[in-house]
Structure 1
């Protein structure tokens, strides 16, 4: 083995090593550079559904207007039309306690004779799917029989307080700053103890002080209020005429402190759909839009409030999940309205400026602070728990009633819901994200023709679920926030190819299986899981590839690193050297560039240790530069299949 003609100390800042270093291909053997992964064609484009769009017709979500009294003429009723496969109301008109004169050729609306009390001998409608209906009511019976004391308190507060105030605790470390800036107040700070006579009504201001009356945060409050435009659940309630769960079954145990809140007029008090749930979801969506650093936590809080309605005995799962559907659609319609573009931008800018000032953070530290809570002071601090709860609350365990493999549709305008969370993606790309992370088909109520029921915003925040064609991601770090760095935690499948461009950092943490390969041309691409880069080839044309997995980062195909401004960073974190190393199943071709070795999780090798950095079926070529943090004397050792590093004294 021929040693380098000139041995230099390897300092933290790095040192250039010639290609004549120990082992590997001899200098007179030309290095053959493989081709980049094959072009997989144009990226997927998700077409708009061919049905009438909710975002174009939200203004029809009205009651007391004969023009908007039917399934086909009322957007809020239409988006929940799948409920007709479970329950057929006495009349398919927005007419429960409602009358309206004839207008423009639409017949007058006459109040329905629906009594609102099932099984009282009055014709009130027909159960179409007995199994789903029974499961819906049984769920509430079981939930109210087993609710904990903590759940009871939360259910009471979520019932009586303003929904906008309640959901702001999803902001975690930012909650106090948000409430102070919004000037939000509530009069309900305790739980009623007298179940028969005491009922607290919130005399606070719910979302806070809006507009010019609140110089620091008025635009943010405006945004939260904005998403409620034309978003009422009353038209759906008065169309579907489906009773509250405690009216279906006496075994439902309404929370004692909420018994005084039970309506004495059941004819105008339908359960489907839940107003609390819809409002909580759209408020949470607006807050997540303004502060995407708490995106998944806010969405989790919105769905939690919906579940509180079940635990209170006031609503059924179908009432609640339909509230999620209508709430998200309403928020999207208002956010997607071109007339609101300036208001959205002003709210996002003001939210960050004000919250940074209040928390002593800046653009570089704000995101970290927003995620700095612990379970002791932020019940949404655990990602895995949030994810599990969110998924459970999307379907409440209903058995699918039809095929589960129908291709997901993506509603017109739904992409706006990810606009601030994934600002580096185009609208077309966000639509693909929504499609590839959608729920399976077949669940009751959720298979609306537009696709609102199957949207899983929590999963969508974690990036694509599948690649098709060339998926080109361009991130501009100079714009800050998620433009500068983001992490995708989904398991990505498909036969597409990932092309990472731009100066920002994209981290992949899923158990990924896409097969079309990966090409890095600029910025940073980080593997946070063993199979972060799927089953294809990895081609580093420019930028930095980081191996940060808890085991070796495994590449199922070839690894190629070109010369010039290319870097492979290995974040070693275990004495064995496997954590953060690179394992290439086929050929690793190193045409130059830099290798940067770092040490993570407190790990630091000692003199004499031999670290295995790269293993491959075949290793060809050498790095032009190797840098090792914290050591002044190391020796690289190349073989036909391995690169190791010996730590000197």
Structure 2
């Protein structure tokens, strides 16, 4: 957009004049001014809609035995010898065998399980390894193992008092209470509604505490029928399968980091919490981390408005386990992978949750939070749930996770903790059976198959430790998946029904979307794209609203508007690399300083119908100011009407390569 010819501006706070709709007939009357004399802009043929890839992408089920089919085999204190073949919790973590070979992998696999109860109780042989530790195996990848322990050394030696306190609280508080502050601005009302309590409120984490302090609170709160506010929500969280980490600890027999090295500095207040029985105190996987992930994923299902922040809180718990000196990166990565499978297993199983039970818990949680926040609906709740609280005053509702871009990077780093790729990179992602249920409330307008594709296109690259579990649990990036597709490798049709509310009515995708597929927006809801997108299959808007919140929101293909509203609110010019065609609907441009709001078309702009609506944000033009609002290689056709908010007299000038607007009066 060209700068106004006059530098004069008016405060945006000043009252705005009435809205003017300039009909096409009025625009045609300007021809006498000579702005487009002699130019034939008639349309002989409307371009075809973008062809796209021609088919939709898929995420086939992997051939490996599915955790969601066998999760019941992962039982705490099972007297049977645990093996890869007999225990789902052990099997889902089998990628650890690329780093570490426990004695169990050699001995347990040969045990014949036979007895009246289906197996024979086995007494473990005396463990070998470092004197007095819980290690019983051999390092297979020395580079990864060394990096794993070195990370803890550096983290604990550089730990600040604030980090020590956070690590202590996450260690000693019950996990459901501890991670509920991932609710951010909703934390207080959530804790009040659930009845969550803790008895651990303060400590000097850098001083020894003996004996160890245990939390006398109630963890996740009070369930139904006693609790009529959020009792069903509490029941929902509590009913997630335990999915114990005890069997995999018993199988993998990998020591806690402070047993591997005296350079690991445990938080002084947690020294009394250290176990004196190493054979029952393995480090891999982290039980605290797994429990935190189970609770936060259940909360995220109930309150998807805080989905990314809650999984970020689980990642924070993981880091705090390392800062405490109690666990290593591989330990907490294992806890995350294990818990993710457990939650998907629970949500996919009618033994734990029927569709009716899930719907009732979600409805109760949403209605309660909407009423307590004093907002109208779930869409408004999403806004309230992200009310900026950037100063930490010590209040529970302070949102540590408000910086989405920063946490996206942090989350990605903590998926691998900087470990090197020890397998082949660039392999196609496999999506575990049932994993799509984890996005059921966050992306409710997508089909189960589409949610699987979302998980596939946002997955971590292959080759990292714990990424080779056979199903794909270790590669899931739920933070990125909550922002929609990572690529359109096939054509994507999105139908959003605004009457269903919540994310069905409005959603934002912030991923950088690549691929050769086409996006088609259907239904009455609003979808906004904010990534640095490069998908090349084109964009079709048929109904509802499709928003552009970045300069390359629509990738590198053609854009075709045949209904609905294309709402451009990009920070600069919206670049349509191909052609732009509009046969109906509305093009809404928000104009601002610089070239904000300019529609820049790399091909032909064909206007065969529909309306143009212009608004200003951040600038207030004066009489005589002119703006270029469409710039194309060539323009054909004209809008049925042009609407300019705030001005009663404007001149619309069609040029061979675009459209200009001059402010003539207020």
Q: TM-score range by the shorter chain?
A: over 0.9
Change (3 A) 1:417 1:626: same
Q: 1:608 aligns with which of 620, 624, 642?
A: 624
Pick the aligned partner of 2:446 from 418, 425, 448: 425
Q: What displacement does 1:225 show?
A: 1.1
Aligned residue in 2 for 1:83: 96
TM-fit CA distance, 1:33: 1.0
Please state if 1:334 is matched with 2:370: no
CA distance in 2, matches of 1:486, 1:108: 53
1:390-420 Cα offsets, whole Å, 9 max, x none, are: 1111110001101111100000000011111
Tell me whether 102-111 or 323-332 shows the greater mean CA deviation.
102-111
Match of 1:586 in 2: 603
- Contact kept, 8 Å, 2:165 with 2:204, in 1: the verdict is no
Structure with the bigger RCO (C-alpha within 8 Å, sep 6+) is 2
- Structure 1 counterpart of 2:381: 366
1:363-512 mapped onto 2 (5 Å cutoff): 363=377, 364-376=379-391, 377-512=398-533
Looking at structure 1, the residues matched to 609 and 361 of structure 2 have their Cα atoms a distance apart, in angstroms, of 47
Residues 1:12 and 2:15 aligned together: no
- TM-score (norm: length of structure 1): 0.94
How many residues were matched structurally?
A: 630
Please name the residue that 1:239 is paired with: 251
Which moves more between the two structures, 365-374 or 392-401? 365-374
After superposition, the C-alpha distances for 1:283-310 in whole angstroms (9 at most, x for unaligned) are 1111111001111001100110011000
| Counterpart check, 1:572 vs 2:591 | yes
- Is residue 624 of structure 1 aligned with residue 637 of structure 2? no
User: How big is the shift at 1:11?
Assistant: 5.1
Q: Which runs of 5+ in 1 are unaligned?
A: 1-9
For the residues of structure 1 that align with 2:655 and 2:305, how far apart are their CA atoms?
46
Q: Is the 8 A contact 1:67 1:104 kept in 2?
A: no
In structure 2, relative to structure 1, the CA distance for the partners of 1:271 and 1:123 (3 Å cut) is closer
- Residue 191 of structure 1 deviates from its aligned partner by 1.3
CA distance in 2, matches of 1:610, 1:100: 83
Structure 2: tracts of 5 or more residues without a match: 1-16, 392-397
Distance 1:517 1:242 in 2: 51
Equivalence for 1:215:
228
Cα deviation, 1:237-280, whole Å, max 9, x if unaligned, reads 11101111000001000000000000011110000000000010
Note if contact 1:140-1:313 (Cα within 8 Å) is conserved in structure 2.
yes
Out of 330, 347, 359, the residue aligned to residue 345 of structure 1 is 359
Deviations 1:600-628 (A, max 9, x none): 2x322111110110000001111110001
**1:110 and 2:120 are equivalent in the alignment:** no
Deviation at 1:106, TM superposition (A): 4.1
Q: Which moved more, 1:186-195 or 1:262-271?
A: 186-195
Gap change, CA 1:419 and 1:101, over 3 Å in 2:
same
- Whether contact under 8 Å (2:81, 2:121) holds in the other structure is no
Aligned partner of 1:142 among 140, 149, 154: 154
Determine helix, strand or coil for the equivalent of 1:394: helix
**Deviation readout 1:179-236 (Å, 9 max, x if unpaired):** 0000000000011564052432100000001121211111101111122x14111111
Q: 1:264 to 1:28 in 2, by over 3 A?
A: closer
Note the C-alpha offset of 1:90. Answer: 2.2
CA distance in 1, matches of 2:428, 2:98: 20
Question: What residue number does 2:50 align with?
Answer: 37
- Is 1:528 the counterpart of 2:542? The answer is no
Q: RMSD in angstroms over aligned alpha carbons?
A: 2.0
Partner of 2:5: none
Counterpart-to-counterpart distance in 2, 1:127 and 1:425: 44
Q: Which moved more, 1:209-218 or 1:14-23?
A: 14-23
- Matching residue within 154, 158, 174 for 1:162: 174
Q: Deviations over 1:4-56 (max 9, x none)?
A: xxxxxx95152322273545586794442111111532211111011110011
Deviation larger for 174-183 or 30-39: 30-39
Identify the residue that residue 296 of structure 1 maps to in structure 2.
Answer: 308
Does the C-alpha gap of structure 1 residues 112 and 630 become closer, same or farther in structure 2, counting only changes over 3 Å?
farther
The residue aligned with 1:3 is none
Seen in structure 2, the aligned counterparts of structure 1 residues 28 and 81 have a Cα distance that, compared at 3 Å, is: closer
Q: 1:120 to 1:283 in 2, by over 3 A?
A: closer
Specify the alignment match of 2:369 in structure 1: 355
Match of 1:644?
A: 660
Report which stretch shifted further, 12-21 or 260-269: 12-21
CA positional deviation for 1:365:
2.2
> How far apart, in 1, do the equivalents of 2:495 and 2:512 lie?
21
Map Cα deviations across residues 32-90 of structure 1 (whole Å, 9 max, x no partner): 21111115322111110111100111100024446672111100000001111211112
TM superposition shift of 1:495: 0.7
| Structure 2 CA distance for partners of 1:37 and 1:66, relative to 1, 3 Å | same
Q: Distance in 1 between matches of 2:265 and 2:322?
A: 10
396 and 123 in structure 1: CA distance in 2 versus 1, 3 angstrom threshold: closer
Q: Tell me if the contact between 2:76 and 2:245 (Cα under 8 Å) persists in the aligned partners.
A: no
Which residue matches 1:224? 237
Q: Contact 2:134–2:279 (CA<8 Å) still a contact in 1? A: no
With over 3 angstroms needed to count, the CA separation of the structure-2 counterparts of 1:40 and 1:446, relative to structure 1, is: closer
Alignment partners' CA distance in 2, 1:144 and 1:482: 41
Provide the C-alpha distance between the structure 1 equivalents of 2:133 and 2:55, rounded to a whole number of angstroms.
Answer: 61
Q: How does 1:122-271 map to 2 (within 5 A)?
A: 124-192=136-204, 194-195=207-208, 197-227=210-240, 229-271=241-283
2:613 is matched with 596
